[in-house]
Structure 1
Amino acid sequence: MAQRKSGDSSQAKKCAVCSSGSAVLPRSCSVVFSSLPFPSSSMRMPLFAGIAHRMHDNLYLLFRILVGFLFLQHGAQKLGILEGGFAMEGFMGFIGLCELAGGIALILGVFTRLVAVLGTILLIGAYTTVHMKGGLLPIANKGELALLYVATFLVLFTFGAGKASLERALFKKELF
């Protein structure tokens, strides 16, 4: 990192990606690259790092909305909505309603972390009670989608609703 020396009138160098901080490389950038190891300040920025850094809020918004839309569809399918009806029967009807509501919440960006925790619990339960009967490996027991949802919910739990969310717009912060 380049820092000002006492008596030095030159300006501190800024992040090559977002123009913040006091380093030439994004290792001082607090948004995306703070955890990446950059051994020297003369090292070049990784390919696509600049565009990824500039677009990370928009890409995360797209990610959250897509996960919400797909989760909503799974709930609608369980409830029979996609076939033109509505059947809230038993436990699967309750699960379908939870998936439908969770998908809507993710799309809007409200209670994202809560939906992520509940979705993770739901899908680990589905994997262990339904899919594991067909074997341990996800490819053999058709549980790939359940585990992929667990991975996406862990990402959603980690990052929350993001900057573009109804929760932030209404409350100026994330509640969950």
Structure 2
Amino acid sequence: MTNNHTAPYAALIMRLALGTLFLAHFGLKYFVFTPAGTAQFFTSLGLPGGLAYLTMGVELIGGIALILGIYARIVAVALIPILLGAIVTVHGSAGFFFSNPNGGWEFLAFWIVGLIVLALTGDGKFALKPTMMKK
């Protein structure tokens, strides 16, 4: 049975954690690898370099939207393809465990589960509602 008093706070915690992870991964690409370096890495995988900039933008905007609770359920679902892409192109061939060389896909799979849970649970406490955004 779901506790209706604590469930909104659980969704808030999930939103904050997931949003922070996306911002951290954006920061890694932007500040450590640099946008040009990230684009070069994408190219080395056989992907268009421009996709790196799109990915970074989605991570940044999606992370902020999750943290603030702006369309959090929709954003959670929209972010899943970013993680699936990382599994297919980078981490999938490294095996399941993230401690493997080049990192496995277990962490990304768990991250996807968190996004699905948030999408099913709802925005949670202190989420900015779309009606509030219009004011």
- TM-score w.r.t. the length of structure 2 is 0.72
Aligned twin of 2:82: 122
SS of residue in 1 equivalent to 2:129: helix
Compare relative contact order (CA 8 Å, sep 6+) and give the higher one, 1 or 2.
Answer: 2
Once the 2 structures are TM-superposed, how far is the Cα of residue 162 of structure 1 from its aligned partner? 2.2
Match of 2:65 among 80, 83, 105: 105
Aligned twin of 2:35: 87
Q: 1:53, 1:111 → 2: CA distance? A: 21
How large is the Cα RMSD of the aligned pairs? 2.6
Distance change >3 Å, CA 161–CA 54, structure 1 → 2: closer
Contact 2:11 2:118 in 1 (8 A): no
More helix by share: 2
SS of residue in 1 equivalent to 2:85: helix
Unaligned residue ranges in structure 1 (runs of 5+): 1-26, 33-51, 172-176
Structure 1 residue runs of 4 or more that deviate by more than 3 Å after TM superposition: 138-141
Q: 1:55, 1:169 → 2: CA distance? A: 24
Write out per-residue CA displacement over residues 68-106 of structure 1, whole angstroms, 9 at most, x where no aligned residue: 1121111121122xx5x9636432232122111100000
Bigger Rg, which one: 1
Contact 2:14 2:114 in 1 (8 A): no
Residues paired across the two proteins, number: 119
Unaligned residue ranges in structure 2 (runs of 5+): 40-48
